[in-house]
Amino acid sequence: MPRFTRDQLTSACTTIFTAAGTPAPEARIVAELLTEANCAGHHSHGLIRIPQYLETIERGELVPAAVVELVRETSITAVVDGHWGFGQATMSKAVDVVLEKAREHGLAAVTVRNANHIGRLGSYVDRIARQNMIALLFVNAVGIPNFRMAPWGGTEPRLATDPMAIGIPASSGDPVVIDMTTTVVAEGKVRLQRNRGEPTPEDWIVDSEGRPTTDPNVLYGEPLGSILPLGGNAAGHKGYGLNVALELLAGALSGTGCIGIDRPLSNGVLLVGLDVKQFVAMAEFFEEADRFVNHVKSSPPAEGVDAVLLPGEIERNVLEQSTREGIFVDAETWRQILGWGEKLGVELETPD
């Protein structure tokens, strides 16, 4: 399978979403964020989502030309309504609002409702952290079928793979970025294994009777399988507890609702921004952060490990490698994208 440049993938994504009725600025936002996910090695939140989004448009559940609206706001809070448009476009607006309010008042909290899948969380907190602000992002998912995880002690899935992310500025300019699901793995990574025809690791999925399996199709079959909660069989109650908290913080607080609602798939969001310099001088913050980082990294690497890395460093290393060597897209995903291009009457170019 050929490798793509970042510009090639961004252009292809923009073209196909524009052909599906998305205004060019919004199509470009979605394209850039999906491509960035592939660049950083998170293929589960990259181009593999294009067929999903286009199918959602076709069913009338995603409004490609939706206008994002602030439906309620105070000096430090806001409620953003995506009106069932692209999650990436809605979240980009939410980030703008948080940056503006936190810059003026020191902190801001924004909720998001009626937004389609928002994609990779790390992109948003990274953007905020590069403005010398701390970002806290909590997300839930509603809609059926979106049951991916059984509650702790249960066998039938009742919960989604609710994720959270934190971005913290660093003196180097490259933030510390934590982006994680409350399950042992994101659903998109299981989907990626299925598309590649490859088994999943033994500690990812269980079948409807709670038995471990390496077959990714079990997650999508009948009866449904389940992704294990963060912590796995030994400490899954911790991931389960986090998941419950995110449902309430992102779902109930935003007005999106919690999982189990019979409605189109969407993400509810709580995004919090803190302007560091309004709590402590930036120089003081960076001095202490650098001291801490040096302390952590001074730990001798384990056998087979080159160096101790901070959260977000792997993604930056992969991004640099992708820039040099090109971006991999698996054959099945690209075949599906080409099929949609043909259906929409646009020709997408495959590199030699």
Number of structural domains (the chain) is 2
DSSP 3-state of 247: helix
**Which pLDDT does position 191 carry in this prediction?**
87
Residue 342 resides in a domain: no
Q: Tell me if 340 sits within 8 A of 15, measured CB to CB.
A: no
The tokens for 255 are: 């007005």
Q: How many CB atoms lie within 10 A of CB 242?
A: 21
307 shares a domain with 212: no
Q: Is the pTM of this model over 0.85?
A: yes
- 96 and 166 share one domain: yes
The percentage of residues in the chain with a pLDDT greater than 90, rounded to a whole number, is: 86
Residues 295-339: tens digit of each pLDDT = 999 999 999 999 999 999 999 999 999 989 999 898 889 999 999
The region that residue 269 occupies, defined by phi over 0 for left and psi between -120 and 50 for alpha, beta otherwise, is: beta
Q: Answer yes or no: do 136 and 202 share one domain.
A: yes
CA distances from 284 to 60, 166, 281, 288 (A): 51, 20, 5, 6
- On whether both 102 and 244 belong to a single domain, the answer is yes
% of residues, the chain, pLDDT over 70? 99
Q: Tell whether the model's pLDDT for residue 58 goes beyond 80.
A: yes
Do 292 and 200 belong together in one domain?
no
202 token code pair: 């033994």
Condensed to tens digits (0 to 9), the pLDDT of residues 134-161 reads: 999 999 999 865 789 999 999 889 999 9
23 shares its domain with 134: yes
Residue 339 lies in a domain: no
Q: Which residue has the higher pLDDT, 3 or 247?
A: 247
- Show the tokens assigned to 74: 């105070």
Q: Which of 38, 39, 15, 41 is nearest to 28 (CA)?
A: 15
Gyration radius from the chain CA atoms: 20
- Taking the C-alpha atoms of residue 195 and residue 286, their distance in angstroms, rounded to an integer, is 43
Burial 141-177, CB ≥16 within 10 A → b, else e: bbbeebbbbbbbeeeebebbbbbbbbbbbbeeebbbb
Mean pLDDT of the chain: 94
Residue 162 has a pLDDT of: 95
- Asked if residue 189 and residue 66 are part of one domain, the reply reads yes
Question: Looking at the structure, do residues 297 and 274 belong to the same domain, yes or no?
Answer: no
Residue 351 resides in a domain: no
Residues 300, 186, single domain; the answer is: no
Residue 337 included in any domain: no
State the residue range of the domain holding 298: 284-312
| 222 compared with 120, residue with greater pLDDT | 120
Whether residues 249 and 288 share a domain: the answer is: no
Task: Using the predicted structure, report yes or no on whether residue 195 has a pLDDT greater than 70.
Answer: yes
Exposed/middle/buried for residue 256 (C-beta within 10 Å: 0-12, 13-18, 19+): buried
Does 279 share its domain with 289? no
Mean pLDDT to the nearest integer, 179-201: 92
Is there a domain that residue 96 lies in? yes
Distance in angstroms (rounded) separating the CA atoms of residues 55 and 60: 9
Q: Would you say 137 and 121 are in contact if contact means Cβ atoms under 8 Å apart?
A: yes
Is 179 domain-assigned? yes
Is position 346 within any domain? no
Residue 161 lies in a domain: yes
Q: What residues have CB less than 8 Å from 231, skipping those under 6 apart? A: 184, 237, 238, 239
Asked if residue 260 has pLDDT above 90, the reply is no
Residue-level pLDDT at 1: 62
Do residues 149 and 242 share a domain? Answer: yes
The pLDDT score that the predictor gives to residue 228 is 96
First to last CA, the chain: 9
Domain with residue 78: its CATH number is: 3.30.1370.60
